[in-house]
A and B are shown apart, each in its own frame.
Chain A
C-alpha cells in the first residue's frame, strides 16, 4: 500500500516537471546575461507540486547568418524534442529576432517571453505574434545626459563614443536622435568607428570641461571585438572627463553611472511572467507593464572622484560601491569589538571594584586581626595578671625593703658603708629587673602595626619562657624550655610570634591543670631542620579528641567553657602570615603537641644584609 502510494507520488512529480528554455543572444559570460540568468533563476523556484528545469542556450549572435540560424534551430528542435520546453525566454534583441524568425520550426505553440529587449526595436516588430510577451526595456540616454549636465553645469563638451557593429550603429542612431536637444548647452562630438587606441587617446586628452557618454560597443573601428562593458571600462580608465553610460553592467568599471533598468530586474520580470504562464495563464491575458522602470545608478566612488556632492545624488538613485562607512563595513566586527571592549571594560571595572572591595576587606580583616590579636593579647595579659604582678612586685618589694634597711642602718649610725653600698647596688639591680619586666609586657601588650624584622627565635623563646615561668609556678606546672643549639634567625613580627607561643604554652598549661603532679609539665622544644625552624609545645594532658583535631584551628572553635575560640585561629593566621605553618597532633603516649614551622633566614643572607 505504502509502496504504491509512493510510486504514485513519484509519478505525479515526474509529470510535473516544467521546462524553461532560455535563449541568450550572445556568450555565456556577457555581464548582462549573467545578471538576467541570476534574476530568472532566483524567481523560478520549485513549488511543492512542480519542478522547474531551466535550460540555457547561447546564440553567439555574432555568427548570425541564415544557415547558422537554421542549423541552430534544427539543433534545438532535436535537442529538446523529448523534453519540450513549456516556455521559451528570449534574452535581448538578437535572441528574440531569432526566435521570431524560426518560430514556425521551433516549438510554435510554446509561449515566448522576451527580456532585455529595447522598446524601439519591438516597435519595429509590432504587432508581436500571439504568445510572445514581455516587458520591454527603454534606455534613457537623454535622462542620463541630463543628469550628467546637472552634475557638471560647467561642462562645455559632450563626447559620445560608439562602435561599429550593426548593434553599435543602432545605438548610434538612437543616440543621435537624442543628442540634438543638448546642442544649445554643450558642444557634441561623436567618436564613431575610430580605432580604440584613437578613442582612448582622445578621451585621455579631455578635461573636466567635458563629459563622455558611451553605450559601450561590441567592436571598435579597428575591428577589435569587445563587449560594451569592457569597452566602457577602457574608456573610463583613459578618460580625463567623467564617463557616463546607461548599462547597469557599467557600474564598477569606472563609469560614473546612468539611467537604466538593471539586467537582474529584467531576469526577475521575465521569470515572473514565466511563472504565471506555467501556472496556466494565457499570454494574452497577462497585464504587463509597458516598459521596465529606469533608475539612476551611480558608482559613488566615481561621483566623489568627479566632485559630485553626495547630497546632489537623487534619493531614488541606486548608489553602488558606496564606500561603506566604517560603521557599514565593519558593523558586525565593530559591534563585536564594541561588545568585547564593553565587556572587558565592565570586567575590568568589576575587577577593579572587586579589588578595591577586597583591599578594603583585607584592610578590614587586617585591622580586625590586629584588633583581635590585641584583644587576645589583653586576654593573655588578663590571664597572666597574677604572674605579671608577681614579676613586678618581687623587685619592687626588694627595693622597698632594701631602702628601709638602708634607712635603718643610717639611723643606727656607725660605719656600715659596705653594707650600704651592697644594698644600693641591689636596689639598682632590682629596679632594672622591674623595668625589664615592664618593657617586655609593653612589647607584648602594645597595640602595634605588624612589623617585619629579622630576629632570633631563640631569644624570643627565652623571653617567653621568662614571662611564663612565674605563671608555671602559679599553676604548678613545670615549664621546660629546651634551647635551640643553632642560631635561628627568622623574619617577621616578634611580638605576634611571641603571642602565638604564649598562647600555645598557656593552652598546654591549662591542658595539664587537672593532671596528677607527674604529668603537670609543658615542654617547649626547638629544632632547626634545613631551611626551617620548628618550635613545638608538648603537654602531658588528655590530648585532643580525634573529632576536634581537624577543626582545632578554626575560628570560634573551642572546647573551653569560657574560650572565645580565637586563640588558635589567630595563631594560625599569624604563623601563616609569616610563611610558616602550624599543626596539632596528639603525643605518642599522652598529651598534645603543637608545632610551628617557620622559614629560617640563612646565616649567609643575614650576613649579606648586615653587609
Chain B
C-alpha cells in the first residue's frame, strides 16, 4: 500500500506559498501549506511519506527552530530549506542538523524536484528501516526475559560457557534457552542467529 507523498510547505509569504503549492499539486503531489512553524506543529500530520519545504525566516520560531524541535520529537520527516537569502553560516547549520537541501529562492523547478525526490527517497528509506526495526522488535517481543538476556549476550558475542558463567546458570540451561529462542526467532542455524544479531545491533545501535 504505497501512499502518495504529502509535501508540507511552511512559508509566511502567502503568495510564494500558494505558488509553490500550485506547482507541487500540478506535479502530482499532495500538499499542505502553513504560514508559520507553529501552524505546522499544531497540524496533526498523518504519518505519510513526504517532506517539508521550510522557509528559513519565519515570524516567531524560525525554520531552524522547527528543525530542532522535530529532531527532539524524533520526527524524521526530511526538510528542504528554502530561503530568500542564503547565507553560508545558516546553510551549514541547517545541513549539519540533517536538512536534505538548502535552496535559495527563486528555486529552479528541476532543482526543487530533484531535492524533493531525494527527500522522499530518504523518507522512504527511513520509513522502511523504521518498519524493519519495528518488525525485529516485535520478534524479540516473543522472547521471555531470560531468553532475551541470553540473546543479548549471544549478540554481544559471548560463548555458551561464558553466558552460563555470566548468568550463573548451567551450560545445559543456556543451551535450552538458546534452542527456544532460535525456534521463536525462526532461525535454524547458529550462523543465521549471528546474522540476525548483527542486524539488530545495527538497527538499534
Residues 376-393 of chain A: 1 if any B CB is under 8 Å from the residue's CB, otherwise 0? 000000000111011111
Whether B84 lies near A389 (C-beta < 8 A) is yes
* Beta-carbon contact of B106 and A399 below 8 Å: yes
Which residues on B sit within 8 Å (CB–CB) of A412? 26
A426 close to chain B: CB less than 8 A: yes
**Segment from A193-201, A401-409, A449-457, A570-578 that makes contact with B:** A401-409
Query: How many residues on chain A are close to B (CB under 8 Å)?
Result: 33
B57 touches A470 (CB 8 A): yes
**Closest residue to A390 on the B side, CB-wise?**
B84
CA distance A426 to B106 in the complex (A): 15
In the bound assembly, the distance between CA atoms of A429 and B16 in angstroms comes to: 11
**Contact in complex: B22, A474 (CB < 8 Å):** no
A405 near B13: Cβ-Cβ < 8 Å: no
A16 at the A/B interface (Cβ < 8 Å)? Answer: no
> B23 to chain A: which residues have CB within 8 Å?
401-402, 404-405, 408
| Contact among A390, A392, A402 with B22 in the assembled complex (CB-CB below 8 Å) | A402
- Asked if residues B82 and A397 are in contact (CB atoms below 8 Å), the reply is yes
Q: Which residues of B contact A390 (CB under 8 A)?
A: 57, 83-85
A374 vs B68: C-alpha distance in the bound complex, in angstroms? 42
Closest residue of B by beta carbon distance from A395: B15
Q: Is there contact, CB below 8 Å, between B84 and A401? A: no
Is B19 a contact partner of A405 (Cβ separation < 8 A)? yes
With A390-B57, A470-B57, A473-B59 as contacts: A401 and B87 at CB distance below 8 Å: no
A476 to B59, CA, bound (A): 9
A224: shortest Cβ distance to chain B, in Å? Answer: 125
B30 interface residue per 8 A CB criterion: no
B104 and A429 contacting across the interface, CB-CB below 8 Å: no
Contact B85 A401 (CB under 8 A): no
Contact A401 B107 (CB under 8 A): yes
In the bound assembly, the distance between CA atoms of A115 and B27 in angstroms comes to 145
Q: A430 with B15: in contact, given A393-B84, A405-B22, A423-B22 (CB under 8 Å)?
A: yes
Q: How many A-B residue pairs have CB under 8 A?
A: 91
Contacts of B59 in A (CB 8 A): 473
Asked whether A481 is an interface residue with its Cβ less than 8 Å from the other chain, the reply is: no
Query: Could you tell me which residues of chain A, from 388 to 434, have a CB within 8 Å of some CB in chain B?
Result: 389-402, 404-406, 408-409, 412, 419, 423, 426, 429-430, 433
Q: Which residues of B contact A401 (CB under 8 A)?
A: 16, 19-20, 22-23, 106-107, 109
Judge if B105 is at the interface, Cβ distance under 8 Å: yes
Residue of B nearest to A385 (CB): B85
Q: Which residues of B contact A433 (CB under 8 A)?
A: 15
Cα of A405 to Cα of B16 in the assembled complex, Å: 12
CA distance A406 to B20 in the complex (A): 11
Complex CA distance for A402 and B24, rounded to whole angstroms: 10
B20, closest chain A residue (CB): A401
B18 in the interface, Cβ–Cβ < 8 Å?
A: yes
Give, as a whole number of angstroms, the nearest-CB distance from B114 to chain A: 14
- For B83, the chain A residues whose CB sits under 8 A away are 390
Q: Report chain A residues within 8 Å CB of B22.
A: 401-402, 405-406, 409, 419, 423
- In the assembled complex, 27 residue pairs joining A and B whose CB atoms fall closer than 8 Å, in A order, are A386-B85, A390-B57, A390-B84, A390-B85, A391-B84, A393-B84, A393-B85, A393-B104, A395-B16, A396-B106, A397-B19, A398-B16, A400-B107, A401-B23, A401-B107, A401-B109, A404-B109, A406-B22, A408-B27, A409-B22, A412-B26, A419-B22, A426-B18, A430-B19, A470-B57, A474-B57, A476-B62
